[in-house]
Chains A and B, each alone.
Chain A
Amino acid sequence: MGLPNASGDLSTEVEVDAFRRLFPLRFYEKHLLESIRPDARPLGRARETTIALGAVASANGSALAKIGSTTMLAAIKMEVMTPSLETPDEGCIGLLPLAACFPLSLSLLKTSGMINLKELSLVSGKAAWMAYLDIYCLDADGALFDTALLSAVAAFSHLEIPVVSLNDDGKIVLSEEQGLSDREPVNKEKRKINLSSVPFSLTCVLHKKYILADPTAEEESIMDTIVTVVLDSSSQLVSLHKPGGTVLAYTSAIQDCIALTRQRVKELQKILEEAISGMEVD
């Protein structure tokens, strides 16, 4: 058994597919002995990643992220709210409870300090922005959290805050809609949010002494030990998550995962920067 030979003998092909379905673990272990995976990736390499900004025009900021075949669409819509009494200068980020069904909660977007909530304020004490972030999974093939986080971060970097002004009833309305060009816009200068310490993540599966970075759905289903590391752009640890699993993660394994993540953060930063500069044609 092993990899199909180049002559394309049909009977060997069929056997390989059946072997893959019937004995998935043995199929993988034969590959891991050669330090490779069935899709010809080395163990530490992630799949091809692309980001497309501005996928949806009806949202204020949006991004479509693909890692391999896993596709996530994140979009942000801005609405106005009254800030709470304890924090009159701060806006808010709204995450669907659905986002919390990830093993690792996306609320780390709020806690990682990527966004200064004071930037979301409009009129101190009276009005502030609520940025609703919604993420939809269009295709699931492993590493869902990584892709979701990447798409959320990209959507925030694409976000453009609409220009608004205060109308007579004390409500905030879009400046062009009212046709009141003489009315002073509340936030003429602040159109983009500053992102500091952007978090990026990498999920790895552990199997015996192997560490596979960026697993596909098949790999995640047969190897049950998953480690997710989230680092920010200055390589500081934001979060580490290892929910059980049969493989015990010794310090060396964790350190290897973190090293892989550090590498991945550089790759993702580059991809995100290319996507952003690709948008700035004007």
Chain B
Amino acid sequence: MAAKPGSAPVTYSPNLGQKTRPPIFKDNDLDWVRPDGRGFHQCRPAFFRTGAVNSASGSAYAELGSTKVIVSVFGPRESKKAMMYSDTGRLNCNVSYTTFATPVRGQGSDHKEFSSMLHKALEGAIMLETFPKTTVDVFALVLESGGSDLPVVISCASLALADAGIMMYDLVAAVSVSCLGKNLVIDPVLEEESYQDGSLMLTCMPSRYEVTQLTFTGEWSTPDINEAMQLCLDACNKLGKVMRTCLKEAASASQE
């Protein structure tokens, strides 16, 4: 592996251990104990803080377990990309990973579809007609990936939009559920996501009880789907309350 002079040397990560999947799910009664000791239907405690970035119109930082995300919102402002007049506003989303977010460097580029998924999750909740001709830019940066990244990004983004004063119908909360054999676990960590048979991500507006986005992957039976969706809706409700508390604290702190 001799590198040509002047070119970057080829490197590999020592973190190569491929964990073999423990074959315990299908038939045994052995239960999977979650790595962090949570119950199957228990989400990680959520920490939110708005106003993290001074140079942005609005921003929020979210930490759920070891998943850390920071979102900055700029706008409504003029956009050079928008050539045509439009009497509704435009939303532009971008989700990127830092190179050190994943256990192996540079794996974040596997998630290029997150930007468009974030866009679809948010566009139903924002009142685009309140800022015609202009664009709102949402930039999400995942600092550390600890599982359930996209739901955390979506919740954090809606807080950042609220911090920026963009008019919305409601806050948007998102939660994902993984199917591990016969068990449904909510808010999976990275390890659980790598073993999952299927996953469901639900994004909804808690107070309006309306779903803005629903994403299924893998194998699902109908009763499981119903149970998983109900789990998600309940969790989103609770998450919505946590987000509201965060906004209220920020508002009352600035009033003092």
Contacts and interface: CB of A to CB of B under 8 A. Distances in A.
B99 interface: yes
A58 B52 contact: no
Contacts of A140: 55
A82 B1 CA distance: 7
Given A79-B105, A81-B10, A132-B99, A174 B53 contact: no
Interface string A56-92: 1111001000000101010111111110110000001
Contacts of B1: 82
Contacts of B9: 81-82, 84, 92, 130
A56 B145 CA distance: 10
Nearest to B19: A177
A139 B54 contact: yes
A82 B52 CA distance: 41
Contacts of A117: none
Q: Classify chain B: how many residues form its interface, as a range.
A: 20 to 34
A138 B61 CA distance: 11
Given A69-B54, A84-B3, A178 B100 contact: no
A162 B17 CA distance: 14
Nearest to B105: A77
Contacts, number: 101
Interface string B25-63: 000000000000000000000000000111110000000
B143 interface: yes
Interface in A76-121: 76-82, 84-85, 92, 94, 96
Given A58-B144, A75-B100, A136-B141, A69 B55 contact: yes
Interface residues of A, number: 39
Contacts of B100: 56, 58-59, 62, 75-77, 132, 134
B54 A57 contact: no
Contacts of B66: 57-58
B17 A173 contact: yes
Nearest to B103: A58
21 contacts: A56-B68, A56-B98, A58-B103, A58-B146, A69-B54, A73-B143, A77-B13, A80-B14, A81-B12, A82-B1, A82-B3, A82-B9, A85-B2, A94-B11, A96-B99, A130-B11, A134-B98, A134-B100, A138-B70, A138-B141, A217-B55
Interface string B65-108: 01010100000000000000000000000000011111101000
A92 B2 CA distance: 15
A59 B104 CA distance: 9
B110 to A, nearest CB: 15
B12 A174 contact: no
Nearest to B53: A139
Given A69-B55, A77-B99, A94 B8 contact: yes
Contacts of B16: 171, 173-174, 177
A126 B77 CA distance: 54
